[in-house]
Amino acid sequence: MTFAHQSSQPVTLRPATVEDVPTILRCIQGLAEYERLGHECQATEELLRESLFGATPAAEVTLALVGDAPAGFALWFRSYSTFLARPGIYLEDLFVFPNFRGFGIGKQLLTSLARTAVERGYGRLEWAVLDWNVDAIGFYESLGAKPTSDWTTYRLTGESLIVAGGLL
């Protein structure tokens, strides 16, 4: 899918392939640094290759390219709503490299995911945003997204996950 771009080169969105793993890792690392969570990023090319392109892919990735240059990505997976009794898309990560921001690439990625959700008959597209990220919040709200402030996200990870699973 190609979109008009403010520079001389078009923006192309396409599904990632296994050959894109180094680019995906760069996007993830860039996002982790932006979110001040670089110290928590454990992703490696090997882990991404297996989890995204192995026997049971856990997520899909849409890459944005300006010409041949990687500009950003959206990493997402299928979720499910019991209330809607339909699948949905959960957007895990949306990232545009700093030198490509301000050209509408993030909007193009979100538009593409919304289109995918509608075309597949899914009932929703949702994601989380850090409460300090006012630029992202403003961007999402400009698209018509609404916060669900009546829900609090909880997470088990690392040792807490192992303990909760009765394995320690």
The pLDDT value recorded for residue 7 is: 54
What does residue 40 show for φ and ψ, rounded to 5 degrees?
-95, -10
Partnered with residue 61 across adjacent β-strands are: 75
Which has the closest alpha carbon to 108: 68, 133, 71, 67?
Answer: 71
Give the CATH fold of the 2-127 domain. Aminopeptidase (3.40.630)
The pLDDT value recorded for residue 157 is: 84
The pLDDT value recorded for residue 1 is: 62
**pLDDT tens readout for residues 118-159:** 999 999 999 999 889 898 899 899 989 998 888 888 888 889
Alpha carbon 144 to chain centroid distance? Answer: 18
User: 108: which 2 tokens?
Assistant: 């193009």
Q: State yes or no: is 122 an active-site residue.
A: no
Q: CB atoms < 10 A from the CB of 94, how many?
A: 24
- Choose the catalytic residue: 90, 122, 140, 154: 140
Partnered with residue 76 across adjacent β-strands are: 60, 91
Listed by start position, the domains of the chain span 2-127
The pLDDT value recorded for residue 57 is: 98
Which residues of the chain have a pLDDT value below 50?
A: 3-5
Q: For the whole model, what pTM was predicted?
A: 0.88
Q: What is the CA radius of gyration of the chain?
A: 17
Residue 33 Rama label (left phi>0; alpha psi -120 to 50; beta): alpha
Strand order in the sheet with 60-66: 2-3, 11-15, 60-66, 69-81, 86-96, 125-127
Pairing of strands 69-81, 60-66: antiparallel
